[in-house]
Amino acid sequence: MRGSLIIVSFFVAGLFSALYGFSLIPLFKSDPSVYALYILMFLVGVGIGSDSHVWTVLKRINFEILLVPCCVIVGTFLGATFYWFLTKELLFADTLAIGSGFGYYSLSSIIISKIKNETLGTMALISNISREIFTLVATPMLVKFFGKLSPIASGGATSMDTTLPVIAKFSGKEYAVISVFSGVVLTVLVPFIITLIYRFISF
């Protein structure tokens, strides 16, 4: 949770800096968020590639473990669709894209800001940070009422890092492998899914 609050603090600091006249845009030939996206994608690749535990998990892959991230994706899409039918405040594509961050607020917010606008990027940031914080706080309750896989689904992409300790504590260490695998798959898929949503859905 502390990491999430630090991220939010930097976002708020940047917001107020821009409101009071400070901007990095004149220093770049294009939107600076593009450079941030490039750096972030590079660091994600380095993080995944250098984690030997991740590769150990991938070597143990079987059909059952593949179902976990697939079910997270389907469940997230169903939840986003239900929200869209209730509110109709956003385009269906925007609603799906925001949900498709799967908790990966830093990357999803930048991608959505670049493809659409900063307002939707901010919504993606807040929505996906909320998903991470909810998982950190509610994991004991989720395990008790919905089973040991439920916090992995709730954590989404964060189940490979920030929410992994609390998942391992309350679901059991044997679920840590599933948690890491699901988080890795979702993390890798985030930019592709968001891009595909905006390419093929226009309403």
pLDDT digits 0-9 by tens, 2-37: 655 666 677 677 767 767 766 555 555 555 666 666
The chain-wide mean pLDDT, for the chain, equals: 83
* Among 11-15, 55-59, 79-83, 138-142, the range of highest mean pLDDT: 79-83
Q: pLDDT class for 51, splitting at 50, 70, 90?
A: low
Please give the backbone phi and psi of residue 9, each rounded to the nearest 5 degrees, phi first: -60, -40
Question: How many Å apart are CA 130 and CA 115, to the nearest integer?
Answer: 22
Which of residues 49 and 102 earns the better pLDDT score? 102
Q: pLDDT class for 48, splitting at 50, 70, 90?
A: low
Q: Is the dihedral of CA 69, 76, 161, 47 positive or negative?
A: positive
Question: How many Å apart are CA 53 and CA 82, to the nearest integer?
Answer: 36
Residue 163 and residue 135 in contact, taking contact as beta carbons nearer than 8 Å: yes
- pTM of the predicted structure, to 2 decimals: 0.76
